[in-house]
Amino acid sequence: MTFLHFLILSSIVFIIGLVGLMMNRRHLIRALLALEVLFLSVHLLFVSSSAFLGDLQGQVMSLFVLGVGAAEVAVGLSLLVLFYRRYQRTDVDDIAQLKG
């Protein structure tokens, strides 16, 4: 497979994640999953470019993106659990009404 194949695959996965993020804006868990699909496409592009260029910079950057994604999911899910315990719902529109 050539680099173009990986670039096309990464673009398709990115578009799927972007569509999933736009379609599931009301459900926070689905939005977080779509965001992880976006991160997956970035991982694929970094690792494939690193393999085809013969250096490790893309793989190291992929590890940093993986760390950011894990922190994002941890914070997002903890906020979701706190919101659910207080209001017994997980609708994003209700979260937008919070002030303070």
Instruction: Give per-residue pLDDT as tens, 17-63.
Output: 999 989 887 787 888 889 889 989 988 988 999 988 888 888 888 88
User: If pLDDT is split at 50, 70 and 90, which confidence band does 85 have?
Assistant: confident
Q: What is the largest CA-CA distance in the chain?
A: 53
Domain that holds residue 62: 3-96
Q: Model-level pTM?
A: 0.77
CA distances to 20, 70, 75, 76, 80 from 84, in Å: 23, 21, 14, 12, 6
Per-residue pLDDT of 54-81, as tens digits, reads 888 888 888 888 888 888 888 888 888 8
Q: What is the CATH number of the domain that holds 13?
A: 1.10.287.3510
Q: In total, how many domains does the chain have?
A: 1
- pLDDT of 96 above 80: no
